[in-house]
A and B are shown apart, each in its own frame.
Chain A
Amino acid sequence: MYYNVSNMGLSNIVIIFIITLSGSANLFLAVYAYAKNPKERINRDFFYFGLLVSLWCFTNVIDLIIRNLFWLRATVAIGFFIPLGGIFFAHALVGKTMNKLIKILLIVLGIIVFLTNLFTPLLIESLISFTDFGFEVVFGPLLGIWSALEISFILASFYIPLSFIRTTDEQQKRRIFFFLVGAAIFAIWFLVVSVALPILGYSQFSELDSPASIFLVGFTGYSIIKYNLMNISSLFFIAITYSAVIISIVAFLLLLLFISSFFFSHLMVWPIYALVMLVSLVLFFIGRLFFMEKKDLEQAKISLTEFLKKSESDRVRAEAERDKTAAIVSSFSDGLILLDYKDNIFSINPAAEELLGLKEKEFIGKPLKSIIPSVKITKARAIMSVFGDGLKAIYRQPVKLADNLITEISVIMLTSAGKDMGHLIILHDITREKMVEKMKTDFVSLAAHQLRTPLSIIKWSISMLTKGDFGKLNKKQDEVVRNTFQSNERLISLVNNLLNVTRMEDGRYLYKRAKADMREIISAVLNTNKDEFEKRGIIIEYKRPVDFPEIMIDSEKIKIVIQNLVDNATKYSPRARKIKINLQKEDNGIRFEIRDFGVGIPEQQQGKIFQKFFRADNAVTMNTIGTGLGLFLSKNIIEAHGGSIGFKSEENKGTAFYFSLPIK
């Protein structure tokens, strides 16, 4: 009995550590695979296989510690089950069922060999001595049979997955490949150190076989992580595996350090060692070539299939999108003409077909101008007026397509990521709105006309009364009648403004420009308001400029502006007595300013002063008559002339309104 723990060298401790690690890793992997999915056959069979490997490793550890014949025999005996287990697992790996009879026969054979090895000297007859990594023994007569069985079982366990590999799918092939590489390194190593060398008489390092099972664990772990072998991959597993691999590599390097001294003293082991490594490498690369070439092709095929699938689904989705867009476009109540980036017609929706009186299919892919000969002359002319010089972005431009058909045409530039995608032309039928608008305007005009007639009668009557046409009035009568006249004047002015606004909004406020003298207009307005100034005791401070340029304006409209400004200045100067008017020439234009010293405009309301119907609070409370239309109208008139209007005001200090007009 060589029971010599105290003499155990450092190399023994390292190898024990590695075998323990390898056994633990195998055990962990086996239990983990089983726990993750106990119902799956491959997981279950892997569990048995791993259990066997770890059992062998642990027996080996005991053997290395106790070092007696029994544990040596036990290690060898259990070791025989590994290729046997390999055959079982190989079937599970490729999903093949084993013949029951063969199964039972193999198990029986295994048990016989195991028992023979363990309890008889037929394989290991007697122990001579233990070495650092093995032992020196006298082999029994069964060595040959045992070796033959061992080799054939190992070959069988590899033959099965390799012969079935063609029928399995690519994903499965890849999973198996790495497991087989690990198994192959383990098997070759085992065959060399525990079968070939002992036959040749070198059993000194046969204990180095079980550490090689770490390769099995390593490659299986890789396959689990990379290709989800046995469907048990998880973050936890990945972490455990990587740590195990790192520890193994470190331990193995340490082991190599010790082995090297041994190898130096046994020079003949070198070529064998090199051969093992070479065979492993060749095996690995051949296998890799065999699998990976297919894999690349397969990968390409899979990629292509997936791409086709994706593009198919993209196409379906795009078609659905297109159909949806087409449905929206075709059911849109506005006429839509879509032009591509070359401004050729891409689509004309039914509403546009109806509005223009043409058929979409005749014009697809043709330039926009191609529709001209097919539409009625009035429509063609209208379209040409808008698109004649090429397309440019326009927004709601009213275009009369026919006598009873008015549309607002908008042209929208379509861009995507700064790239020109074409144009969208929108034809919005506003015939009805225009009709309603016209009715409204006609009504207002008529109403205004009807209002003006009685106002004129009042005006004329009172005017003639004050002029003494119906006899001289006494002072009181004269005063009353004059006041009545002024009130009537205000009413007339209100009606005038209301009419002007209506017409302006209707687009019928035509501007007829002609050369005019601003000085004349101002004088005329001041003259008209003379009575009012007198009545209120207002003094106008106005220095009529000599030598003033004529400007291109619609005098009547500018007169309305000045009248409104004068009127405001007068109305809102309840106490003040002075209104300053200034007319001056500017670069390329003229500037008119009227300044009063009246109530002013409250600061927070200044922003709204040009809004229609807006009247400042202090103006409303003053009980003056006003519609809130004067300034709205004035702003529109000035801006229509290409000028600008503005004001400066301070409450209770006064207001200055000013406008500028260009000479031309």
Chain B
Amino acid sequence: MEEKTKKNTVLIIEDELDLRGLLKTKLISEHFEVLEADNGKIGLDISLSSHPDIILLDIVMPVMDGLAMLKELRQDEWGKTAKVIVLSNLNEAEKVSESLEKNIYNYLIKSDWEPNNIVSLIKKSLGIQ
């Protein structure tokens, strides 16, 4: 019972509503608690206030993009070690290496991944499976 109450929280920072909705549906069905943000700025605020277990981060977003958000996050004491999976449709090698340098858990190309695989990866990263 205790495990049930201690649900893992996933923050989805994604401006594309459809993608966010699909992921949310999938994660909820997999018993995750889901937080949402539609740009980097909101995402950063939620991250720092709610300390989610893992952050799924898009890169190309209005207001504040994913890389800027990541940079800010790493300034924070908690944020330094926060688990981040970048989920983007950019696979520019430079962008990849730029975010890899910021110590992210993984960098996924959205169109190469299916939601169930993403969930598997999240579980793996959280040590659930």
Chain A residues near B (Cβ < 8 Å):
445, 448-449, 452-453, 455-457, 459-461, 463-464, 467, 469, 492, 495-496, 499, 503, 508-510, 512
> Chain B residues near A503 (CB, 8 Å)?
92-93
> Do A459 and B92 form a contact, CB below 8 Å, given A449-B60, A469-B25?
no
B25 touches A464 (CB 8 A): yes
A463 touches B111 (CB 8 A): no
B29 touches A508 (CB 8 A): no
Distance from B32 Cβ to chain A, minimum over Cβ atoms (Å): 14
Cα A463 to Cα B114 in complex, Å, equals: 6
Smallest CB gap from A491: residue in B:
B111
> Chain B residues near A496 (CB, 8 Å)?
111-112
Cα A492 to Cα B110 in complex, Å, equals: 10
Cα A663 to Cα B44 in complex, Å, equals: 45
> Looking at chain B's contact residues, is the secondary structure mostly helix, strand, loop, or mixed?
helix
> Do A509 and B116 form a contact, CB below 8 Å, given A452-B110, A453-B19?
no
> Chain B residues near A453 (CB, 8 Å)?
16, 19, 89, 110
B115 touches A463 (CB 8 A): yes
> Do A457 and B18 form a contact, CB below 8 Å, given A452-B110, A508-B92?
yes
> Chain A residues near B90 (CB, 8 Å)?
445, 449
Q: A445-B90, A460-B19, A464-B26 are in contact. List 15 more A-B contacts (CB 8 A).
A: A449-B89, A449-B90, A452-B89, A455-B111, A456-B110, A456-B111, A459-B114, A464-B115, A464-B116, A467-B115, A469-B25, A469-B29, A499-B91, A508-B94, A512-B97
Cα A453 to Cα B19 in complex, Å, equals: 9
Cα A452 to Cα B60 in complex, Å, equals: 12
A457 in complex: contacting residue of B19, B29, B97, B116, CB < 8 Å:
B19
Smallest CB gap from A554: residue in B:
B93
Cα A512 to Cα B107 in complex, Å, equals: 16
- Within B45-103, the residues touching A (CB, 8 Å) are 60, 89-94, 97
> Chain A residues near B109 (CB, 8 Å)?
452
Residue B23 at the A interface, CB < 8 A? yes
Cα A110 to Cα B24 in complex, Å, equals: 144
Distance from A490 Cβ to chain B, minimum over Cβ atoms (Å): 12
Residue B22 at the A interface, CB < 8 A? yes
The 4 closest A-B pairs by CB, nearest first: A452-B89, A463-B114, A456-B110, A460-B22
Cα A512 to Cα B96 in complex, Å, equals: 12
Smallest CB gap from B90: residue in A:
A449
> Chain B residues near A457 (CB, 8 Å)?
16, 18-19, 22
> Chain B residues near A469 (CB, 8 Å)?
25-26, 29, 115
Smallest CB gap from B30: residue in A:
A469
> Chain A residues near B25 (CB, 8 Å)?
464, 469
B111 touches A459 (CB 8 A): yes
B22 touches A461 (CB 8 A): yes
Cα A636 to Cα B89 in complex, Å, equals: 24
A463 touches B110 (CB 8 A): no
> Chain A residues near B110 (CB, 8 Å)?
452-453, 456, 460
> Chain B residues near A448 (CB, 8 Å)?
89
> Chain A residues near B114 (CB, 8 Å)?
459-460, 463
> Chain A residues near B91 (CB, 8 Å)?
499
Could you say which of B26, B109, B111, B114 has the most chain A C-beta atoms within 10 Å of its C-beta?
B111
Distance from B13 Cβ to chain A, minimum over Cβ atoms (Å): 15
Could you say which of B26, B60, B90, B110 has the most chain A C-beta atoms within 10 Å of its C-beta?
B110
29 residue pairs A–B, Cβ–Cβ below 8 Å: A448-B89, A449-B60, A449-B89, A449-B90, A452-B110, A452-B111, A453-B16, A456-B110, A457-B18, A457-B19, A459-B111, A459-B114, A460-B23, A460-B110, A460-B114, A461-B18, A464-B22, A464-B25, A464-B26, A469-B25, A469-B26, A492-B111, A492-B112, A495-B111, A496-B112, A499-B91, A503-B92, A508-B93, A509-B93
